Structure 1
Amino acid sequence: MKNRLYPGVAIAALTAMTALPAVSQDLPDTMVWTSYDVGSAGYAEASAIADAFGKEFGTRVRIQPSGSGIGRLQPLLTGRADYGFLATEAFFVSEGAYDFAIKDWGPQQLRAVAGRPAGITLIAAGDAGIETVADAKGKRIAFVAGNPSVNVKCEAILAFGDLTLDDVEIVTFPTYAAAMSSMTRNESDATCTTPTTSQLYELAESPRGIFYAPLEADNEDGWNKLLNVLPIMGPSDEDIAAGLPEGEIAKMAAYRYPVITTTPDKSADDVYAFIKALDESYDLYKDGTATMKRWSLDLSGKPAIDVPFHEGAIRYLKEKGIWTDEDDAWNQKRTERLDALVAAWEEFAPQNADLSEEEFAQAWMDRRAEVVAGLN
């Protein structure tokens, strides 16, 4: 591979004032998307795509940025947003895991439209003395409040170095942007994120500098420990990263970010029109950031991804010759897992409503593990 709720609302694209070929797309005049904070890779990419939609189809997009997974999900699940540019909170909420293993949440039905491949590793200030993941022992690691997407990946990456959260000093910041910029301010020593987040370029140019702790593909023991915590990543060679000299490779983990996500009750025709527009406006946004070429549907429209693909997206991907029988099999299996967890929750939640939040969450995580084991 070659490689950014409510309070902040950004207008990412304005209606184009030229003749537009949008009739065939049947896109709405306006849409609302959620994304990570301003300054994140997800926000930058959502903004570039929104701008392309405005220029090509006259669609006006309003982006609601939020530093927490819950803040990005709530507008989507309550119908106040059409699509979310999500991170791994899409996987977690579909499982009812971590921050979503509580009475008010549980497994939620979501569907993917597309999601580009992304890299992640432990990213440290250059003067922090962290050359391997194991070197992070006793160091200050930046976490984001209410954001299991970042935090659990960091927990998994620390496990690669045979470390647990007890082996490091967790410093929790209220927003993603605050956590990512904390190293430059010397409020933390390392964090885990995508290597093209804008704050990392500032870190790379700062007196502290930047360093990417390697996740070597041939470290079988390290990878087994990482995947025991979070089984949705794999080895990745990344050559686009803040402060990485041209021609060098950083050994990271790969996952999907951002994942364009919607609800299953979004009509197939609406989602078909959206992914068709995403494809046909590709030339307008592909140079928007260093990694946006990865939105090509031959990369972003394929499993594995955090949640099942939406039927409207699959229809278009089949027309393009991208979607295969193997992809259908993956999607069916992922849908069965999600349906099984939702059904288990519907039985479990009322039966355990009298438990404390902590007891409830632990009991659900145990039940979830049973359901997942029964599917294998």
Structure 2
Amino acid sequence: MERTAMHKIQLNGLRWVAGTMLGASLAVATIGQQAIAEDDYEWPRYFNVITPAVGTGNHSLAVAWTTELSSQTPTRVRVLPAPNGFSRASWLNTDEGRIALMQASEYYDQMDAVDGFASRDGGPADTRAIALAMVTPWGYMVRGDSDIESIHDIGPGTRIAYAGSSAFLLVGIDALLAYLDLDHDEVELVEVGSFGANTAVVTEGRADVAITGPVAGPSYEAEASPHSIRWLELPEPAEDPEAYERYRNVNLGYVPMEVSSGAGTAHGLNMDHAFQMYHVRGDDDPDFVYHLVKWMDEAYDSFKGDFTHAHMMSMDNLKLFLEHGAMQPLHEGAIRYLEEKGGWNEAFQERQEALVELAQSRVASYQEAMALAADQGINVSPGNESWVNFWQQYREENGIAQPYGELVRALD
């Protein structure tokens, strides 16, 4: 009798829990349906969001907001981690995903078709920003017990992590060397194969310096390691104008600001910041983009606490991106929502038109160059030296040799 009675109690308890959960689910669904009923937009059944690798802040961020989107609307979203920025660009262009993360420095490299972007699918493309993911600081990190106190202590023989899998990390190191007026062969470049290894080689003592971000997961781990870490502040332009100009000519697409997010060891220091944006193809459905951006704004409170840096996905930060001088064109669906919210003006529109013209002109040039290369039997591949040289010669002969980032910078 005792066992039977206990069984009934347990069964009734399970029924009560199940009933409660079902009731809660129905309540959430009802709320969601009420919200959807206010707008008869028909969401896509599913789509993919392309992010950096698992373990990065941007992957975790995408998981946070897409989970909420899938629970509040009929659409289902898959987060698709890519091994590097080259793949993210290629996957967006080939419809592996509908949205991809990209920061300005990567966008500029793509539009110049440098390194791994010099491919048929990953080269210049008319993509448009729709929303801000994070405002991320990037800077030079050393181990906590390092003798290197500032970037001026870096010199011949310094061991520097060199991440070949990431274009913007490579550019960051090249910019550092440009500031110091050093060549590659004057320092020891420690090649690493992944974003995590780029930090680990410093904490393990195999490299002296790496460029990384305080908001990145590996930086938090490194900060908690036995020797901890330190960050080297970006000098003000007035300290050495010529050196800073050399640095900035290489490292375009960043805004220097005081660090207020990520690993505490970086807080209060002056570092470059990247506005990391979600991109779609320029020809994507304006209604989809409009409703997604609208949802991101209206549902912001529901996901801003789901990940450490999710609060950065605010309309205020998107407006900050515009006020600092948008570095990539926006999609018309995003502009439509900004206009509706009073966040768009004539100056933004003028810059938008200039950015679109630059992008479409570069895409047309790249398409023509690939067609001409094909006529000569040249395979379009970043590993094919003939194609790389052909593209460079085409740029010089057609007056587009100037780095794309400099063209955008000239709009300021």
Specify which of 174, 178, 182 is matched with residue 155 of structure 1. Answer: 174
RMSD over aligned CA atoms reads 2.6
Identify the residue that residue 209 of structure 1 maps to in structure 2. 228
Query: Which amino acid in 2 is paired with 1:272?
Result: Y
Specify which of 62, 65, 77 is matched with residue 61 of structure 1. Answer: 77
Identify the residue that residue 133 of structure 1 maps to in structure 2. 151
- 1:122 correspondence with 2:143: no
Identify the residue that residue 48 of structure 1 maps to in structure 2. 64
> Where do 1:254-293 residues align within 5 Å?
254-257=273-276, 259-293=277-311
Query: Whole-Å Cα distance in 2 between the matches of residues 184 and 284 of structure 1?
Result: 37
Query: Which amino acid in 2 is paired with 1:75?
Result: W
Query: Which amino acid in 1 is paired with 2:190?
Result: V
- 1:166 correspondence with 2:182: no
Identify the residue that residue 112 of structure 1 maps to in structure 2. 129
Contact 1:180 1:200 in 2 (8 A): yes
Change (3 A) 1:185 1:62: farther
Query: Whole-Å Cα distance in 2 between the matches of residues 149 and 185 of structure 1?
Result: 23
* Structure 1 residues 52-90: Cα deviation after superposition (integer angstroms, max 9, x where no partner): 213333532211112311222222111121101223423
Structure 1 gaps of 5+ residues are: 1-15
Aligned length: 358
Percent of pairs with identical residues: 26
Contact 1:286 1:293 in 2 (8 A): yes
Identify the residue that residue 359 of structure 1 maps to in structure 2. 389
The more displaced of 228-237 and 131-140 is 131-140
Query: Which amino acid in 2 is paired with 1:79?
Result: D
Query: Whole-Å Cα distance in 2 between the matches of residues 345 and 30 of structure 1?
Result: 32
Structure 1 ranges of 4+ moved more than 4 A: 102-105, 352-355, 370-376
- 1:297 correspondence with 2:315: yes
Aligned partner of residue 369 in structure 1, secondary structure: coil
Contact 2:93 2:121 in 1 (8 A): no
Largest Rg, 1 or 2: 2
Aligned partner of residue 183 in structure 1, secondary structure: helix
Normalised TM-score (structure 1): 0.85
Specify which of 253, 258, 261 is matched with residue 272 of structure 2. Answer: 253
Greater relative CO (CA pairs within 8 A, separation 6+): 1
The more displaced of 133-142 and 79-88 is 133-142
* Structure 1 residues 92-119: Cα deviation after superposition (integer angstroms, max 9, x where no partner): 2233234323566532111111224221
Change (3 A) 1:165 1:45: farther
Contact 1:93 1:107 in 2 (8 A): yes
* Structure 1 residues 26-62: Cα deviation after superposition (integer angstroms, max 9, x where no partner): 4323221111111112112111211221333353221
The structural deviation recorded for 1:369 is 1.8
Change (3 A) 1:239 1:277: same
Aligned partner of residue 244 in structure 2, secondary structure: helix
Change (3 A) 1:171 1:67: farther
- 1:241 correspondence with 2:255: no
Query: Whole-Å Cα distance in 1 between the matches of residues 407 and 76 of structure 2?
Result: 45
Structure 2 gaps of 5+ residues are: 1-24, 379-385
Identify the residue that residue 348 of structure 2 maps to in structure 1. 327
Query: Whole-Å Cα distance in 2 between the matches of residues 365 and 253 of structure 1?
Result: 29
Normalised TM-score (structure 2): 0.78
Contact 2:136 2:274 in 1 (8 A): yes
Query: Whole-Å Cα distance in 1 between the matches of residues 122 and 107 of structure 2?
Result: 13
Specify which of 75, 91, 100 is matched with residue 84 of structure 1. Answer: 100
